[in-house]
Every structure is written in structure tokens, then in C-alpha cells.
Amino acid sequence: MHFPPWKLLTARHLRPRKALGQNFLIDPSTAEMIIRKSGVSRNAPVVEIGAGLGALTLPLADAAKVVYAIEKDGALAGILEYELNRQGIRNVVLKRQDIFETDLAAIAAGQERRLRIFGNLPYYISSQVLIYLIGAREVVEQADLMFQKEVARRLIAGPGTKSYSRLSVMLQYYTEIRRTATVGAHLFWPSPKVDSEVLQFHFKTAPSPVLRDHALFAAVVKTAFGRRRKTLLNAMLSTELGIGREELINIFRAAGIDPRRRAESLTVEAFVRLANIIDAYGGKNGSKPPEPVR
């Protein structure tokens, strides 16, 4: 980019919007490092969430086949569009919309391979974006995303820790995660209070163990962690699942799980087993519970 981001904004009497978590990467070498570590290839279709002023967009255009740059802030999109035209970049498709209004399946249609996702995700939207990408996993190959360090640590946390959460379970079932870089707060403008980390998510084509019902799995995990201070039995006595106390006790017995445990103590595999047994049991339909796991 020709000018620092503050000059691009102040020249138009604009300021970063705190409500949207706007912190702009100002170090070109960091953007290049993120792209290099992603392993993105020349034939890859890329979607960038929150393109901003193009710190990642422009080098991604050099590295990938096509970049769909998603930016909901109209002012930023206008600046980026001007810069793309000025530099004669033709393989960036700028979409002035929210990521949740973006049909990833439609973008992937006709592409030779699944999508690669990039983005620097603000704290307030990171969880929703990840759940959205899990829902679009059939058309997403890999996501290289930047988070505040505390958020990143929660996503990779294991069972038995305070940071282990609903998102930890969901992501660790559907993706393989690795930490690829730490990005100092001083490399952004305005500078946030904490450093960031880049996590790489490789979406599995065949997650294991096999789930009988993916929506039920999501509901079980959400319910268990929604009342994480309660025992699993009390947490899951909810109208969302619609299962009575005695039925739940039978289900936990069949799953080989002590109902007095709490959500953060269960492995991903145990959650899958629990969801599969609830599905086999028929939940509130009251069918006969399966035999206990041995």
C-alpha cells in the first residue's frame, strides 16, 4: 500500500470505528509472513473477512487465483476500491457486505478447489464467524485467522482447563488447528491492548468419530457449556433438548459418563459419544435406551 492507513483515513476525515473492532495491520512484512505460512497457492480461491484497507488483500492478490474481499464498512470499501483500481489489480472481487450475508457455497461453485479463508477477527465477532465457517465446512478447505491472544488460547484449550469451551469442542472436532504466528500489538493502528495470534484451521473432510446428527451434537455441546458451573445432568435438563431426568440418567449410563461431571471435563470424543447415544435413544420420543458402552 502506498500510504500508511492513518493517512488514507485522515485524508477523508475518517477514524477507525471502535464499535467494529477496527485495528489495521501496518507492517507489510507481517502480512507477507501470514500468507507465506498459510501455504496458499496460485490456484486457490480466497475469501478475506474484513478486508479493511487492504493490508492482506493486496499481497493475497499476488499469491492467489482470486480474492473475494468482504468489507461491510462502506467508507473502507471505497478506499480499498480506489487502491485496487489505482494499482490495476483485477483478481479481487470487492463485496460490500457482512460476512454473514455472504453465500460461501455460491462463491465456491465452479471453483476447482475449496475456499481458503483469511481475516483479522475482532473480539466481538470471532465466535460467530467460526460457527459460521463450521456450517460452511463442505466448501472451506482452510482458514488462517488472527485473534486476540486470549481468544486464540481458548480455541485450542483442552479438557480440564478453564479456557476449554463450546468453541474448543466444535473446532477440535471439525478442524485440525495449529498456531502459526504471534503478532505484536505495536504492529497495528490503533494499537490494541494485547498481542494477536494467527491460528490455522484445516477443515476435515471426514471428522472422526462419526456423528449421527451434527445439529444435535452442536445443541448438546451448547447446552452443556451454557451452564458450565452445573453438573452435566443439571445443565442438560433443558427445554432445548427436551429430555427428562430419568431418561438423561439412562443416557449418561449408556455413554459411560458420570452425570455429576461438568462440561469442561469431557473430551471431544465423549461429547460425540453422548450426542450419538441421545440420537439413538430418540430423546423426548422415549424409545428404549441403547446398551451401556463397555
* 239-253: burial string, b at 16+ Cβ within 10 Å, e else: eebebeeebbebbbb
Cell of 201: 484451521
pLDDT tens digits, one per residue of 209-228: 999 999 999 999 999 999 88
Separation between Cα atoms, residue 294 and residue 288, nearest integer Å: 18
The number of CA neighbours under 13 Å toward the Cβ of 17 is 11
Q: What does each C-alpha distance from 104 to 60, 120, 256 come to in angstroms?
A: 18, 18, 39
Average pLDDT of the segment spanning 124-152: 96
**Peptide bond just before 5 cis, omega within 30 deg:** no
| Helix pair angle (245-255, 268-281), 10° resolution | 130
- What are the start and end residues of each CATH 3.40.50.150 domain in the chain? 5-203
Q: In this model, does residue 26 exceed pLDDT 90?
A: no
Average pLDDT of the segment spanning 113-117: 97
Q: In this model, does residue 240 exceed pLDDT 90?
A: no
Average pLDDT of the segment spanning 64-73: 96
pLDDT for 292: 45
β-pairing verdict for 45-49 and 66-70: parallel
pLDDT for 287: 46
Average pLDDT of the segment spanning 240-262: 92
pTM: 0.89
pLDDT-based confidence at residue 16 (cuts at 50, 70, 90): low
Residue 289 Ramachandran class (φ > 0 left, ψ -120 to 50 alpha, else beta): beta
pLDDT for 20: 56
Average pLDDT of the segment spanning 94-117: 96
Cell of 226: 451454557
Q: Which residues contact 29 (CB under 8 A, 6 or more apart)?
A: none
pLDDT tens digits, one per residue of 31-65: 999 999 999 999 999 999 999 889 999 999 999 99
More confident residue, 169 or 284: 169
pLDDT for 124: 85
Q: What is the DSSP letter of 136?
A: T
pLDDT-based confidence at residue 189 (cuts at 50, 70, 90): confident
Contact by Cβ (8 Å): 5, 15: no
Closest CA to 165 of 225, 121, 125, 214: 225
**The domain at 214-285 falls in which architecture?**
Orthogonal Bundle (1.10)
Average pLDDT of the segment spanning 128-135: 97
Contact by Cβ (8 Å): 286, 247: yes
| Helix pair angle (166-174, 126-135), 10° resolution | 30
Contact by Cβ (8 Å): 37, 197: no
Separation between Cα atoms, residue 43 and residue 18, nearest integer Å: 36
Contact by Cβ (8 Å): 87, 57: no
Largest separation between any pair of C-alpha atoms in the chain: 70
pLDDT for 111: 94
What value does the mean pLDDT of the chain take?
90
- What are the start and end residues of each CATH 1.10.8.100 domain in the chain? 214-285
pLDDT for 4: 57
Q: Fill in the amino acid letter for 243.
A: I
Q: In this model, does residue 96 exceed pLDDT 70?
A: yes
pLDDT for 6: 57
Hey, which CATH number is domain 5-203, 1.10.357.10, 3.40.50.1820, 3.40.50.150, 3.10.20.30? 3.40.50.150
Average pLDDT of the segment spanning 158-163: 95
Contact by Cβ (8 Å): 28, 59: yes
pLDDT tens digits, one per residue of 260-284: 999 999 999 999 999 999 999 875 4
